[in-house]
Structure 1
Amino acid sequence: MGGALLLLAALFLGGLPIALALGIAPLPTMIGLGIPLIAIPQVVFESLDSFALMALPLYVLAGRLMQVGGIAKRLVGFAIAVVGVLPGGLAAAVVLTSMLFATISGSSAATAAAIGGVLIPEMERQCYPRPYSAAVVASSGELGVIIPPSVPMVIYAVLTGVSITDLFIAGALPGLMIGLSLMLTASLMAMVAGHGERMRVSLPEYAANLFSAFRRAFLSLLMPVIILGGIYGGLFTPTEAAVVAVAYALVLGLFVYREIRITEVPRIFADAALTASVVMIIVGFAAMFGYALQLLQAPQKIAAMLSGVSSDPLVFLLLVNLFLLVVGMFMETFAAIIILAPILAPVAMAFGIDPVHFGLIVIVNLAVGMVTPPVGVNLFVACGIARISMEQLMRPLLVFLAVLLLNLMIITYVPALSLALVR
């Protein structure tokens, strides 16, 4: 087991693409055990031959259509109308918009890019420092993979056999808690530091603005109601919901908002297909690596090792949190889930931890990794939009990271928060 993991680490450090590294690392194990190499394409194909996994490219496409079709822009306008009058209201609106966008997009980077592209320039116009604005966008962007639907949740569920619907439902309350805590933090930081310009309107003006913004965004706000309501109501599966999301976003962008031209549709589909294909290739070869680890009885050996440290599930969860936080700092989220989920999930079950609850812990952990240097994807997105360096971003980001870690501990040790709506 150690040899396969060391070879994988060496290939990563050597700069080999993730998919190739995952495909090469199991070869010595399979040859050593005398397993025919024809098993490689069989395992890869079998892992991709999944109805549930079809949701992944569809949610990627839906998020792309939302970005270019005017849906994100209208959600931003609605969020500003709701909380823009508060101290630090525009910063709070960033988080609220991210929460709304997350109910449709399923992607952290897409959420940060769509919201940051609209609101970071607006925050700069209202005298918010760019490092602070970027920190708000980067930290709230992680909600894209916690509030359902979520592409990483789909991948985790496919790899571990957990119900996608249950995992989606489990993310609702924790996502809401994280979103509200980030809104409060963003507003308090802006108020204490004197950032931004507070909107001063009378109650009738506020009500009129809110009604106008709601009317403009009504069809966009209806999208998560249709998708999540259909899933939880049993009208369609998460994969079928992804098809509905694509169709709805395409109709809005083409015929209602008219911000997508017919000639642009092939390019949008091609961009989404390219993004999704990279992930799908990684999933296929990661299944091969997971197969090799199963042959080496890696989950059983890791369970025995951790049991030797402590038989207490609470200690196990603490160790997993520390491990995943470090992994999230250096490894891309999809790759981390694909490599580690098949190993850690059986170990967690051996400790008596609910598989849905553990799945959410893994997702939230790696979502925090999206906003931690050196490879946090949300940081690169936010810094690129704000035109600042990573060093400038770090000081305001530390406060938001502390809030995210506090939320992670609550989610880890209060399983009822994740399971209340599932059971």
Structure 2
Amino acid sequence: MNLGGLLLGLFLALLLLRVPVAAALGAAAVGVIALGGLGLQVVSFNFQAGIAKFPLLAIPFFILAGVVMDRAGIAERIVRLLLALVGGWRPGAALATVLAGMLWGAISGSGPATVAALGGILVPMMVRQGYAPGFAAGLMAASAELSIIIPPSIALIVYATLAGTSVAQQFWAGILPGVVMGGFLALAAVLVVRARGWGTGEVVPESRWRLLAEAFPGLLTPVIILGGIYGGVFTPTEAAAVGVFWGLLVGMAFYRSLHLGDLRDLLVEAGVSSAVIMAIVAWAGLFAWAADTVGLVGKVTAILLRLQENPLLLLGLLNLFWLVMGMLLDAVSIYYLTLPVLLPVMAHVGWDPVWMGIVMTVNMAIGQITPPVAVNLFVSARVSGLPIERIWREIWPFVLASVLGLLLLAYGPYLAETWGR
């Protein structure tokens, strides 16, 4: 019996039956372990070992920090500040949306969370200025893809844990690519807005200095988190906990929008989101162990190593593969499914695993806005009240802009090396 083929076939069949990803990974792995006589006793041990890793403790803390910041009213203050800075320009609303996505990404670390926090504010604002509702919702979803590239990214925490790289290194490496991708999205948005004649400009009557003072405690959040990490004050996991306490301080002391009675709801919301991610981490870890044990990892690695003499072609094929995978699965599942195969290939070809982590994550970010799954689009549809089909029709300029940004980031090191000769 070909256990590797059976494992992959069971997983794909369960996905086609619309079984949740975590359940599909777990059921396929347990089924093959039982049929192959690999010992069912490894399931409980592997399940626990997959999530009992110190860096992964940062995930629930960063999720809770994002929830606290949202409930504290920081999102609304940041948006008002950005509108005061660029809102008077005709495409200013579109530019403010991209900038807000970048800033909130440095707080939440999650694409869907960014859409949920900002969509209810930014989408109606763009519609008021004459933007097509589907375009406004699509731009909001596309801007939120930056949240898993710009630190503190939950996806980068998982990647670093699996790849054996430093979380701080991955965070540092994600800053410039996040800005580059934001630039491509902003350019695409401005070009579309100008071509369609949208936008009236919306000048915020309040003083910019006053708005800056109001938004300042929230804007300090990424400075405190990232500055503390890079300054050696605390680890990324400790930084996540600091972010929670800073958010509570801002909400309770500065804005007085949070109260002790809100803590239960905040913890429940963050707990549910964390449980979903950690369930995927646990079952995906078991799936990866089963794939390695039955020889599937070794066979795929051998196939990829045959392409090592042409690293540009290999990188192109991997990016195409990641793009397709990103359209179907979440980033955490893809890391667990592919990294056991790819890490030996990266080492053999000589690719920097930190750089490859960013390239992979950019692919996953594009997958968040590319049908058929496109989780950001579904959240944006729920927030805006629009049918998902209307957003699908308007998302493609941002998919194209994101792919162009990906190509620059993926092949930039090769171009720099060529020009330097």
TM-score, with length taken from structure 1:
0.92
SS in 1 for 2:207: helix
The corresponding residue for 1:244 is 242
Separation (CA, whole Å) in 1 of partners of 2:415 and 2:151: 15
Q: 1:191 aligns with which of 187, 190, 194?
A: 194
Matches within 5 A, 1:18-417: 18-31=21-34, 34-199=37-202, 209-309=207-307, 311-415=309-413
Contact 1:146 1:363 in 2 (8 A): yes
SS in 1 for 2:393: helix
Q: Structure 1 residue 326: deviation in Å? A: 1.1
How far does the alpha carbon of each residue in 1:230-258 deviate from its partner, in whole angstroms, 9 at most, with x for none? 11111111111100111111111122212
Which has the higher mean CA deviation after the structures are superposed, 77-86 or 66-75? 77-86
Q: Which amino acid aligns with 1:76?
A: V
Q: Structure 1 residue 261: deviation in Å? A: 2.7
* Gaps in structure 1 of 5+ consecutive residues: 419-423
Separation (CA, whole Å) in 2 of partners of 1:182 and 1:27: 42
Aligned CA RMSD, in angstroms, stands at 2.0
Q: Structure 1 residue 340: deviation in Å? A: 2.2
Contact 2:163 2:343 in 1 (8 A): yes
Separation (CA, whole Å) in 2 of partners of 1:83 and 1:200: 8
Separation (CA, whole Å) in 1 of partners of 2:415 and 2:137: 29
| Cα 1:169/1:250, change in 2 over 3 Å | same
Q: Structure 1 residue 259: deviation in Å? A: 1.6
The corresponding residue for 1:421 is none
Q: Structure 1 residue 21: deviation in Å? A: 2.2
Contact 2:369 2:377 in 1 (8 A): yes
The corresponding residue for 1:13 is 16
Separation (CA, whole Å) in 2 of partners of 1:100 and 1:401: 20
SS in 2 for 1:25: helix
The corresponding residue for 2:419 is none
Separation (CA, whole Å) in 2 of partners of 1:131 and 1:18: 28
* Gaps in structure 2 of 5+ consecutive residues: 417-421
Q: Structure 1 residue 55: deviation in Å? A: 0.5
How far does the alpha carbon of each residue in 1:305-359 deviate from its partner, in whole angstroms, 9 at most, with x for none? 1233563121111111111111111223332233223332332222221111111
Between the aligned residues of both structures, percent identity stands at 39
Q: Structure 1 residue 190: deviation in Å? A: 1.4
Contact 1:174 1:417 in 2 (8 A): no
| Cα 1:164/1:6, change in 2 over 3 Å | same
| Cα 1:313/1:218, change in 2 over 3 Å | same
Contact 2:83 2:202 in 1 (8 A): no
Q: Structure 1 residue 161: deviation in Å? A: 1.5
Q: Which amino acid aligns with 1:171?
A: G
Q: Which amino acid aligns with 1:363?
A: T
Separation (CA, whole Å) in 2 of partners of 1:209 and 1:416: 47
Q: Structure 1 residue 417: deviation in Å? A: 11
| Cα 1:4/1:366, change in 2 over 3 Å | same
Which has the higher mean CA deviation after the structures are superposed, 239-248 or 290-299? 290-299
| Cα 1:383/1:20, change in 2 over 3 Å | closer
How far does the alpha carbon of each residue in 1:254-309 deviate from its partner, in whole angstroms, 9 at most, with x for none? 22212223212101101110110121122111111111122134333212212335
Which has the higher mean CA deviation after the structures are superposed, 310-319 or 365-374? 310-319
Separation (CA, whole Å) in 1 of partners of 2:178 and 2:261: 37
